[in-house]
Structure 1
């Protein structure tokens, strides 16, 4: 039996489970809000073209209106000034979008402190216990934040001082960019940086260091609690928008069940 036939048999038998890590995309999907004077992207809306009517008696379809960075989406290097000479989303090699995925779980810490930051010592402790982060793979930061995704207000968790969501520190982002060979970093929050990261130095360090190092970002992931710490495989499927700085993506994990 070929390798692919074996995989299909395992999927059919339930020995390998497909876990959807993608947030449903609708007009109610939370969208990042930048303060003035910065411009903001738009949420999803659908404009009807036809609906089994005179405009199209046998078919229904819509025009989609949304931004590249809405819902579960991929950040390409050209999204950030440090990666502006790098790859647009259509130029990312497919092999960089499929690979092993590991989970750093700080759910309890994020629940206790919504401004919790992932530091180099957390990443180093994970490697001491589980081994090196996988070359060509993905690191997903589990915080439990996706449980808030039904409400824009709860998801962004902002007050007069700004948004309060967990993320990675300046030192953590630099360490991940300079000391690992992962393809990308994924989070449950609205963006790959912490809510307070606009005030860091440099601002938005996950974007600054990771996209500048040809590593990619994934946001608004769900169901990370269904992944093992190691051993799963992730498939990231953004639209190959020519010249795009990112794209909404379907993200699936293959998990072997014993």
Structure 2
């Protein structure tokens, strides 16, 4: 049997499970909120065109309004000024949308400290147990933050000093971008950077370093607790928006059971 035939059989008999890492996209989906004077995206909204009525007796369909970076979404390099000469989302090669993924679990640390930052030593310690980071693959950073995704205020966790959500340190972001074979970073929070990253030097280091290095981001993932530390195959399918800086994305993981 061919390799693809083996995969089809494994999917049919359940020995390979498809785990959906995507948050449902609805008006209640949390969105990033930037302070004035910066522009903000809009909540996802459906606009009904017809529903088996005089506007269209046999069909139901909608227009929708949303931002490129709403819900579970893909960050292309051109999203950040450091990657301004890089790929837009339509230019990302299809072969780079499928690759191995590993899961680094820092949910205990994030539960104790919502401003927890992943450092290089945390990643190196993980590799001692689980092996090297995957060449051409994804690091999925589990913090348990997806449990907050039903509530905008709880998800952003902001006070008078700004948002408080876990993320990655400046040094670690630069190291992941420049010294590892990863193709991208996936997180459960509203963006790939920590809530306090506006005050880092440079600000928003995951965006700055990773997108500047031609790598990618995935945000607002869920169900990372259902994946092994290594061994999953990730499939990310953003819309190929010409000129787009990103796109809402269906993200799936294939896992051997």
> Normalization by structure 2: what TM-score?
0.99
Which residue matches 2:151?
151
Which residue matches 1:140?
140
- Unmatched 5+ residue regions in structure 2? none
- When the two chains are superposed, the root-mean-square deviation of aligned CA atoms in Å is 0.6
The number of equivalent residue pairs is 257
SS in 2 for 1:250: strand
Shift of 1:183: 1.0
Shift of 1:129: 2.2
Shift of 1:94: 0.9
- Unmatched 5+ residue regions in structure 1? none
Q: Matched residues in 2 for 1:83 and 1:251: separation? A: 23
Which residue matches 1:179?
179
Q: Matched residues in 1 for 2:78 and 2:181: separation? A: 19
Residue deviations 1:217-253 (CA, integer Å, cap 9, x gap):
0000000000000011000000000010000000000
Q: Matched residues in 1 for 2:13 and 2:43: separation? A: 39
Which residue matches 2:244?
244
Are positions 1:104 and 2:107 aligned together? Answer: no
Which residue matches 1:16?
16
Residue deviations 1:142-199 (CA, integer Å, cap 9, x gap):
0000000010010000001110000001011001011111111000000000000000
Structure 1 segments of 4+ aligned residues over 4 angstroms from their partners: none
Are positions 1:120 and 2:130 aligned together? Answer: no
> Normalization by structure 1: what TM-score?
0.99
Are positions 1:74 and 2:65 aligned together? Answer: no
SS in 2 for 1:231: strand
Which residue matches 2:219?
219
